[in-house]
Amino acid sequence: MNRKHAAALTLLPLVALGLGLVALGGAPQDAPPGAAQDQRGAAAGPGGAATSASLAARAPAREARRGAFWAPVGSRFTYALDTATDISSAAREADGMPERRETQRVETGGKLVVELLARRDREAVVAFTCPELGAKLPGGIAPQGELEANLAALRGRTLARVDVDGRVLGYRFADGLAMTQRDWVRGLFGGFAFVVDADGGETWTAVGADSAGEFEASYRRIAPAVDELQIERTKLRYVAQRNAAELPLSVSGAAHATIAVEELGWLRRARLAETTHVQSTELPIAFDVAAHASLELVSHAFDPTIADDDAFDGDWAPASGHGEDATAMFEARAEDEWRQRLAGKNLRGIAGDILEELLAGRDDSERLMELWNEASWLLKLSPEAIAELRATLADPNLEPKAAALWLAALAKAGTPTAQSLLLEVFGDAKGSLALRGAAAAAMFDVVRPTAELAGGVAARIAALDAIDPADATAVLALGALARRDAKVLAGERCVLEAVEGWQERARRLDAEDLWLDALANAKSPKLEAAARDALSDGREHVREAGMRALGQVEGDSAFTTLREVASGDAEPRMRCAALQQLATRNEPAARDALLTAAESDRDAFVRQTALTSLARKGVDSGDEARLTLIAQNDADENVRELARRMLRRG
């Protein structure tokens, strides 16, 4: 998983809790002495703040009002706020493994206080806070860590610019808020920011903004009214969204609001019942975030000391959070944590601990993984450590597993200096084949390839007259780098063009199978055409590579070819190659094709391959009858035994 995706998954449940909590609102400073807040229509005591009756008296004349949200500067609104959010996740860790489901509920309750600070033209500045906001977790667990930090951000004071129709135009956050905290504030405010049609239509559409991005919503008037406007909002789609390619969002449900357009010029109440579905496009995981929230006005008053003529001055953050860099936030936080953890440590000490684990035969221990993480972060944060590692890697007595681990740590560090050393080790003509191969293998884990790395690898493979295992690994790694960043320069061409353009050199080296695998790694648009050309090649290894490549091509045409080869090709190896690719497909007919081959292919090894491919997908209850017949009737004992094992595991 790359860092960008990890950041998105880390933030998602936290951001989701902030989706759709509360409407246009603001945060007051402490009320001045004697400025009591009264219930609707109730008089404040002598010397107290103005009552709602005097709010109406201070309202502009009807013909001079602009928009539904016309409340005068100095208005203060206090709401009761309650939310309940259920976050459900579904994940499948691997093919054949059962789906794992988890659900967590978070309830919050408290007050929302809104103060109108300033107006100009068609805009206003409001301040909002939730001074008594608390959370309820399952089992009575007290909020802590990131959840408590996000709740603290909502208890603090935030300014928002809004227009008279209810659109959020921007925010001014408290200093020092992390991105997740700003997202919670956006979710609170933007989730219930209702946009009213200036032309008074019965239905309309408008664009809103929240922590996830900008969304298009449809609105309708629920009932005709003179004093109050009752509307319903349905989110249609996100037109701009953070991590849209990796974690696309869809929303169902609706929100309702009552706006006191005559008495208050502000929101009276709101109800929200929306479910956000998030499906990862890169990992087998999905989230459903069901948010229920209510907002009810409990008091309103007028206090002239609220006014702030300078409220518009200064910088404003965007209304939507989609433009903020989740990856940068994720990495900055991790860097701070690792600087503290690595205090007093150096490369020599970590290297000694790594060697101790390896010599003890603990090459898959949790302790070794911890040390590898330490090594990666030390190399990321300390250029001096990379210089020291250069000398370590040059030691001919360096333990091979330790060398491979350090090269992988360089790739994870990912800095330009780290990538430069990785390329240096790979290109060292005097280096051992094992060390060069380990450097090439480590390149698969480089998340943001530099032009130096991509260009260096591309230049070497373009000039090859013979190919060794290290070079072959580098060809495949270059394809992976192209998938990470297809436009990064590799000399005069981008890295994707360098991969695609290697075909002629591959043909001279009899390495077209390697080229096809690199194209597949790169997700090249030319992959399907190249794969189909390979299927008609007379060389078996090229045909097999074409089948592997075709398995990576989405769509009915590629799937149909896979099924045809699996059932009808004259060569058993090709039928096996097609079956192995069918195991990776999500089309429902893929399962039937595998079972059919397991039942009827004339070659026992192909039937066995069909069963192992089916096992990768996972055995469903609907497969058991056909597997039982295979276990009882197949002519080959190995096939029968494999079917019996699959039934027992299923």
Residue 21 or residue 176, greater confidence:
176
Amino acid occupying residue 51: T
Residue 67 or residue 416, greater confidence:
416
- Taking the C-alpha atoms of residue 225 and residue 476, their distance in angstroms, rounded to an integer, is 67
Distance, first Cα to last Cα, the chain: 29
Residue 304 or residue 199, greater confidence:
304
**Is 90 exceeded by the pLDDT of residue 106?**
no
b/e code 564-596 from CB counts within 10 Å (16+ = b): ebbeebeeebbbbbbbbbbbebeeeebbebbbb
Please tell me the predicted confidence (pLDDT) of residue 9. 39
Average pLDDT over residues 317-322: 88
Please tell me the predicted confidence (pLDDT) of residue 98. 54
Please tell me the predicted confidence (pLDDT) of residue 364. 82
**Is 70 exceeded by the pLDDT of residue 78?**
yes
Q: Give 356's contacts (C-beta < 8 A, 6+ positions apart).
A: none
Please tell me the predicted confidence (pLDDT) of residue 25. 28
User: Facing residues of 273 across strands?
Assistant: 254, 292
- Taking the C-alpha atoms of residue 275 and residue 304, their distance in angstroms, rounded to an integer, is 40
Please tell me the predicted confidence (pLDDT) of residue 227. 85
Least confident window among 106-110, 378-382, 600-604: 106-110
Q: Which position has the token pair 């597993």?
A: 401
Q: Which two tokens stand for residue 610?
A: 């069909």
Portion of the chain with pLDDT greater than 70, in percent:
88
**Is 60 exceeded by the pLDDT of residue 158?**
yes
**Is 50 exceeded by the pLDDT of residue 519?**
yes
Please tell me the predicted confidence (pLDDT) of residue 46. 29
Please tell me the predicted confidence (pLDDT) of residue 72. 94
Average pLDDT over residues 308-319: 93
- Taking the C-alpha atoms of residue 16 and residue 11, their distance in angstroms, rounded to an integer, is 8
Average pLDDT over residues 455-481: 95
What's the pLDDT band for 44 if we cut at 50, 70, 90? very low
Least confident window among 62-71, 224-233, 277-286, 590-599: 62-71
Please tell me the predicted confidence (pLDDT) of residue 29. 31
Please tell me the predicted confidence (pLDDT) of residue 650. 62
Average pLDDT over the chain reads 86
**Is 50 exceeded by the pLDDT of residue 274?**
yes
Portion of the chain with pLDDT greater than 90, in percent:
66
Q: What residue ranges in 194-284 does DSSP mark as E strands?
A: 203-209, 213-223, 229-241, 249-260, 266-279
Other CB atoms closer than 10 Å to residue 143's CB: what's the count?
17
Residue 643 or residue 334, greater confidence:
643
Please tell me the predicted confidence (pLDDT) of residue 27. 29
Please tell me the predicted confidence (pLDDT) of residue 11. 40
Please tell me the predicted confidence (pLDDT) of residue 61. 55
Least confident window among 48-52, 122-126, 601-605: 48-52
Q: Which two tokens stand for residue 393?
A: 């890697």
**Is 50 exceeded by the pLDDT of residue 70?**
yes
Residue 56 or residue 12, greater confidence:
56
Please tell me the predicted confidence (pLDDT) of residue 65. 67
**Is 90 exceeded by the pLDDT of residue 574?**
yes
**Is 50 exceeded by the pLDDT of residue 293?**
yes
What are φ and ψ of residue 604, in 5° steps?
-65, -35
**Is 50 exceeded by the pLDDT of residue 379?**
yes
Least confident window among 24-28, 246-250, 375-379, 460-464: 24-28
Please tell me the predicted confidence (pLDDT) of residue 130. 95
Please tell me the predicted confidence (pLDDT) of residue 199. 81
What are φ and ψ of residue 79, in 5° steps?
-120, 150
